[in-house]
Amino acid sequence: QRLIVVEGLVDGGMSKLHEALPRATIAEKDQATTKVFSNPEVLFTTRLYTSFEVDLKMIRLRNPLAAILKTPDIYNRANVSVDCFNTLHRLGEVKRANRMRTLKVM
């Protein structure tokens, strides 16, 4: 499974992305497994992710995210940092969400 998160200025790169790759085009690929969260009315005041410059970064998990989230070890602060736990938890919430507004209140 893949999860792609793209953030940017609503009047900048994000509007260009929406023009070049409309939601209908993305959904045609595989409607059963593809979710696109985009709502220009839902804006975030702070950035949740660190700056990765302009390149896409691929982060591969050894096990499926759902399996990792069920593992008791991720709650042990000696093994997993708070930042890592929060990131994994938020990614799980993104995968479960059905609407952009749901993600906004996370």
What is the distance between the alpha carbons of residues 69 and 80, in angstroms, rounded to a whole number? 12
Angle in degrees, CA 55, 6, 101, rounded to 5: 165
Q: What is the pLDDT of residues 72-102, one digit of tens each?
A: 999 898 999 999 999 899 889 888 887 777 7
DSSP of 52-93, one letter per residue? BTBS------SS-HHHHHH-GGGG-TTTS-HHHHHHHHHHHH
Distance of alpha carbon 22 from alpha carbon 2, whole angstroms: 19
Mean pLDDT to the nearest integer, 39-55 = 64
